[in-house]
A and B are shown apart, each in its own frame.
Chain A
Amino acid sequence: MRNFGFSTTKSRTIDYGDIDRRLISYILENEPTFNACLSCGSCTAICSAGNLTSFNIRKLSLQIRLGDLEKTHEEIDKCMLCGKCLLECPRGINTRNVVMLIKKGLTIFEIKDKA
């Protein structure tokens, strides 16, 4: 293959026909409140782990919903499960359960981070 000094880039488009739904389905089956997220971001604003790192639980949830699991493992491991988000969520999402389900789901489906 010839090198022209540039290459095609992978499309950033999310194709809803081709979403990895394993994790989101597993979470929703066990915690239907997960779908009630409004992306308000209050969980992320109060987050203990977010105060120490770049952890963003709102963004991560969104990425999981879109089947973008490239860095889920690395990210979710930052959560300390302290439960502040649980108290903050305006829609009563069982955030701690969601986190545990993400962790377990990644294990069950053997989803690894992309290096």
Chain B
Amino acid sequence: METYFILPFTLGMLFLLIVLFIKYGLWITKLSHIDKLRIVQSIFTRRSWDAIKESFLEGLVHRNMYKRNPLLGYMHMCFAMGWFLIIVFGHVECYMYYGTLAKAPWYPIFFQYYVHEWFPGERFMTNLMDFLLLYILTGVLLAYFKRINSKIFGIKKTTKLKPLDRVALISLWFIFPMRLLAESATAALYGNGGFLTNTVGQLFVWIGVNSSMESMLWWGYSLSLGLFFVGFPFSRYMHIFTEILFIFLRHYGIKLKKQFNSYSRIQVYSCSRCGVCIDVCQMHVANISNNQSVYILKNIRDQNLTDRKLYNCLLCGRCEQACPVRINLNDLRISQRIRATKEFNSDYAFLQTLPVDEPQMIDSKPEVIYFAGCMTHMTPGIKKSVLKVLDKAGVKYQFMDKEKGACCGRPLMLAGQYEAAKKLIAYNREKILESRAPILLVSCPICYKVFKDDYELGQITIKHHSEYFLELVNQGRIQLAQSEKTIVYHDPCELGRGCGVYEPPRELLRMTGQLQSVQQEKVNSLCCSGSLGDLSLSMADRNVIKAETLKVLLQKNPDVLATACPLCKKTFVKGVDVQVKDIAEIVAEAME
């Protein structure tokens, strides 16, 4: 009779398994046909092994999180690794005693309750299990502290909870202390147990313990487990298994689409809400602390995402870079914007009626086709410099949007106007292909990103002017003179994190001046705050964020603040005394 206490655990686990089976089953069946093929084709390849390796490193060891925040990583590792090992060794112990693995699942879980006698290796196993329990308990202790005071973790703010999360969280907090108490009570009654349970058991002996009290504690242990399992699929703890699924799918080459789909959902549920994204978000500077990725993902799960939160994000990609689970946070947010705005996309019918440009070069095809973009037209210095360099190097080029040009489509993409963007893309794409130029040269990283991701230009290589100018230098077509001026370089979000271009601008700057490093650069660079990704951020807030970014950039008092984006330049140029220059301008000057 007294073994009824296994019921909460068993039922809870049964429930959890059924729910997980249904959920994962649905998610996987809802993947596109191609994605499913990808899985079938990859399942028996090296990719699975890589996925297992990453699952171990990220799902259990939490390596990425550890790198970013050791204490937080350790806490997560305690829970994940500790629990995993305790289950594994629980089964080992069970096998050692019963000689079979075909025992009901509650035997390994409540092993101490069932088995009180000696068997070969018993001492070692008991102490090992005690050690693992202690290991987890240190993690639990940290979790308590984190709730009380997140600052000791170096986290500005901890995530907020909803009721089911709270149930799961509290039951989780109880599981291992309860196990300790239950095992200790048993140890007290039977005079066994390892270094931990035996010691705590001595205490029980001292206060006096009986079997009903023991049974009660085992009930407590089972109940907290059962409760946790029931809460599990509806709480953030879904991430534990979903993350593994996500890692496998990612290794199988499945990519996020523009439309929110099953894979997006898997990504959403993979978030462990560790809060790393909250930490790196620059919005805090402007006292905005409700729209960081972790909250957005939670809102997506809870289906209560407001426009205000959805659109108030610079889409700088810093959180995506920092995310230990490597969730595609930017694209996830954009897919939500696509969903929110799908009913009102423009068809840009006027594009069909625009006069066709006279071909600028009829006899020979141009070396490059240059697309300045809207923002570059607002910074004539950049445009002039690019053209000057091209002329000096004797490059045959066609200026695509010299007089009249349609927008590249990236700003629409950022706003979620995917269908509208496709219209502009089709229009511009045709013009680019018509030119027969092998290289598309761009000055604006915002354009660069969309050309690269969405234009499908085939053989045409897309180059930002920093990349192209470096090529011209290497080919000896232009020569640069080095000056003594100190320069710091600001990585534009779309060029750096967006397209992975970090080195070419730096190389050019090393040739033209004295490049200094800054505290947060390359993947960790800060956003200038001018981003078109944010639709609702006020100018005042943008200015506050900009000021903080400038503080980091100008720490060493450089002579020149260089960047490679007209929007970054335009954003920085108001409000600083230091010279703000685009790479193109610097190169053009250094040619003389």
A and B touching (C-beta < 8 Å)?
yes
Interface set of A (CB-CB < 8 Å, partner B): 30-31, 33, 46, 48, 51-53, 76-84, 86-88, 92, 94, 96-97, 100, 103-104, 106-107
Inter-chain contact B341/A104, CB cutoff 8 Å: yes
A72 → chain B, closest Cβ, in Å? 12
19 further contact pairs, Cβ within 8 A, besides A52-B354, A106-B344: A33-B538, A33-B539, A51-B404, A52-B350, A77-B346, A81-B407, A81-B415, A81-B417, A82-B411, A83-B374, A84-B374, A87-B530, A87-B567, A87-B570, A94-B537, A96-B535, A100-B311, A100-B341, A103-B341
CA distance A74 to B537 in the complex (A): 27
Residues of B within 8 A of A46 (CB): 378
B274 surroundings in chain A (CB, below 8 A): none
- B308 CB within 8 Å of chain A: yes
Which A residue sits closest to B343, measured CB to CB? A107
Q: Closest residue of chain A to B349, judged by CB?
A: A77
B406 touches A48 (CB 8 A): yes
In the complex the two chains form, is B540's CB within 8 Å of A92's CB?
yes
Interchain residue pairs with CB less than 8 A apart (22):
A30-B536, A33-B538, A48-B407, A51-B405, A52-B350, A78-B350, A80-B348, A80-B406, A80-B407, A80-B412, A81-B415, A82-B411, A83-B411, A83-B532, A87-B375, A94-B537, A97-B535, A100-B311, A100-B341, A100-B535, A103-B341, A106-B344
Size class of the B contact interface (CB-based, 8 Å): 35 or more
CB-CB under 8 A from B349, the residues of chain A are: 77
Residues of A within 8 A of B424 (CB): 80
- Could you say which of A31, A46, A100, A103 has the most chain B C-beta atoms within 10 Å of its C-beta? A100
Q: Is the CB of B311 within 8 A of A97?
A: yes
Which residues from A are CB-within-8-Å of B537? 94
When chains A and B are docked, how far (Å) is the Cα of A82 from the Cα of B350?
A: 16
**Distance between Cα atoms of A100 and B414 in the complex (Å):** 12
Judge whether B538 and A30 touch: CB under 8 Å: no
Interface residues of B in 275-328 (CB under 8 A from A): 307-308, 311
Give the contacting residue for A81; candidates B311, B405, B412, B536; CB below 8 A. B412
User: In the assembled complex, how far is the CB of residue A6 from the closest CB belonging to chain B, in whole angstroms?
Assistant: 35
Pair A103/B348 contact, Cβ less than 8 Å: no
CA gap between A100 and B567 in the complex, in Å = 21
Residues on A with C-beta less than 8 A from B374 are 48, 82-84
B347 at the interface (CB under 8 A from A): yes
Chain B residues with CB under 8 Å of A94's CB are 535-539
Q: How far is the CA of A100 from the CA of B311 in the complex (A)?
A: 10
Docked complex Cα distance between A92 and B536 (Å): 11
Which of B344, B349, B404 has the most C-beta atoms of chain A within 10 angstroms of its own C-beta?
A: B344
Chain A residues within an 8 Å CB radius of B350: 52-53, 78
A43 to B306, CA, bound (A): 28
Q: Considering the complex, give the chain B residue whose CB is closest to the CB of A47.
A: B374
Contact B411 A96 (CB under 8 A): yes
Using Cβ atoms and an 8 Å threshold, which residues of chain B touch A33?
538-539
**A97 and B536 contact, CB distance less than 8 A:** yes
Least Cβ–Cβ distance between B466 and chain A, in angstroms: 22
Tell me, in angstroms, the Cα distance from A106 to B341 when the chains sit together. Answer: 12
User: CB distance A92 to B538 under 8 Å?
Assistant: yes
CB-CB contacts below 8 Å: B368-400 with A: 374-375, 377-378
- Tell me the minimal C-beta distance from B332 to chain A in angstroms: 19
Give the residues from 36 to 91 in chain B that come closer than 8 angstroms, CB to CB, to chain A.
none
Hey, which chain B residues are within 8 Å of A84, CB to CB?
374-375, 377-378
CB of A52 within 8 A of CB of B346, answer no
Find chain A residues with CB under 8 A from B404 CB.
Answer: 51-52
Given the known inter-chain contacts A48-B374, A94-B536, A97-B536, please indicate yes or no for A78 contacting B348, CB distance below 8 A. Answer: yes
Q: Smallest CB-CB separation from B410: which chain A residue?
A: A82
Q: Is the CB of A100 within 8 A of B415?
A: yes
Question: A94 to B541, alpha carbons, bound, how many Å?
Answer: 12
The 7 closest A-B CB pairs, nearest first, are A92-B539, A80-B407, A77-B346, A82-B374, A82-B407, A103-B344, A97-B535
Task: Give chain B nearest CB distance to A62 CB in angstroms.
Answer: 21
* CA–CA, A103 and B307, complex, Å: 13
Contact: A31 with B536, CB < 8 Å? yes
Complex Cα gap A79–B347 (Å): 11
Complex Cα gap A97–B349 (Å): 22
Alpha-carbon distance between A84 and B405 when the two chains are bound, in angstroms: 13
